[in-house]
Amino acid sequence: MKGKRLIQVIGAVAFINLLSRFLGIFREIVIGYQFGTNEAADSVITAYTLPNFFYVVVGGAVTTAFISVYTKIEGPLGRRDYLEQVFAWLGLGLVLFSAGLVVFSDQVIGLLFSGLSAEQFQLTTDLFRIMAPATFFLMISMWLTGLLNVNDRFTWSAAATLLLNGSFLAIAVVFFPWLGAFSHAWGAVISAALMCAFLVYLIRRERFFHFGFRFRRSPEVWRTFKLGVPILLGGATLQLYFLMHRVFASFLEEGSISALNYMAKIVQLPQSVLMMAVTTVVYPMLSRKVAAGEQEGISNLYGKGLRWMALSILPVAVFVVFFAEDIIRVVFQYGSFTDQSTAMTVPLLQILVIGMFFHAANVYVTRFFYAYERSIYPVVVSLLSVLGINTGIALLLLDPLGAAGVAWGTSIASICNFCLLLFGTRSVLKLHQVSHVPWAATIAKPAALLLLMAGGLYAVKQLVGSMNPYIALLSGGAAAAVLLIVFMKLLRFREIDDLLDYAKKKVVKTK
């Protein structure tokens, strides 16, 4: 895929994912409006934790491993046999697994969220029993999107996620007056089934796969699942953080689970849009480069990707720190979401946003390890960060700081994870910056940019702090955009010149 076409595809995927993520955020807003930060909100969010976890983590691991193996198989007959074998074993495993979640709903929820009250435990298990079958449809759908991606149908896979979030939201809103919290449970199952049916239709129409199956072991299938296990452990980092949020928060005051969830969703939005677009399009291309041995091209992609990610996310994080309260009042404070809910969530957002860039960068960097099929190192690093550093800090700060202690554990652990991965790319993968600029010089300019942005936004916040939150947020956002452009020009970031030139060409072309 040529450079210009690649940028266009990434832009289209990013736009569709932006719409999809906004629908996902709006669903959280609806939950806040309907329940605020009470036990019902906690139950709805907790019940969907595991289906979403398996979808993103396990489904993502299988898909990543599948793409890595599929792109290295030669010939249409070999690829057809491989698809039939993966589909057969994956489908059988998911049927049994989803059925087990339904049958053992009480035991699963009781094991993971033992701090729930008796009433909250009962509601959570009832909701989870309905949502559990969504696991089958979600994970099959994730694999099907991988099949579309290796055939360069990136926008279709993005559109499927848009259908998932849109139908989920519609069902939860329309049926809430009759079903209450259970409208979200049925929304989870029905929307997942709709997405799966949509993907099956697209793949059959384009004849990428005829959905035959054969239960036969082959080196390629064994290699896929063997590669998928470490990818699962390494790629579970972000979702494990949020799973740990709910595990720890189940022992805290009412509303802690929902408060952490709402803020995590805001923090996830920029990185999810960026990461879904980049990894959807870049990873298949990266796998091909690794297969062809294009080391210089891989190093170039690695350096540019991290730099663009930093310039896209870090200024947003600085803005959120200063305007956290205005963001929450504008986005969430409606209906049952009160001033008390806002007071509970503001410090959590300010802490979690510190780790926003590092979560995104960790996902991006691990893709390079997976493309080289060197997944052990990121697995060890991720488990050390989540289960070691994150858990240790959370346990240490849980009593004195409550939910804020859990948030600090997540942000600090994500930074440690990133530093260890950077070390691994140089020592394990031998990836170095193509420009050979020292790391100290590479970090100096972005650090200076962030300090200037922080000083400028602090001054802006003092001016608009007493205004209506809508006006304050609009004024602060406009000021932040101007400050970012000015400071990037002053510090001579070449990226801002590229963007401005691209914008001028677009304007001229439109005229």
Better pLDDT: 115 or 121: 121
Q: What does pLDDT average to over the chain?
A: 82
End-to-end CA, the chain: 29
Hey, is 240 helix, strand or coil?
Answer: helix
Q: Taking a C-beta distance cutoff of 8 angstroms, is the pair 431, 302 a contact?
A: yes
pLDDT score for 436: 47
pLDDT, average across residues 68-97: 83
pLDDT, average across residues 258-276: 74
pLDDT score for 507: 47
Spatial separation of the C-alpha atoms in residues 451 and 441, rounded to whole Å: 16
Spatial separation of the C-alpha atoms in residues 478 and 490, rounded to whole Å: 19
pLDDT reading at 502 higher than 60 = no
pLDDT reading at 91 higher than 70 = yes
Confidence of residue 322 (pLDDT cuts 50, 70, 90): very high
Give percent of the chain with pLDDT exceeding 70: 85
pLDDT reading at 503 higher than 70 = no
pLDDT score for 49: 87
Q: Taking a C-beta distance cutoff of 8 angstroms, is the pair 165, 27 a contact?
A: yes
pLDDT, average across residues 441-460: 83
pLDDT reading at 341 higher than 60 = yes
* DSSP secondary structure letters along 281-348: HHHHHHHHHHHHT-HHHHHHHHHHHHHHHHHHHHHHHHHHHHSHHHHHHHHT-STT--HHHHHHHHHH
Give percent of the chain with pLDDT exceeding 90: 23
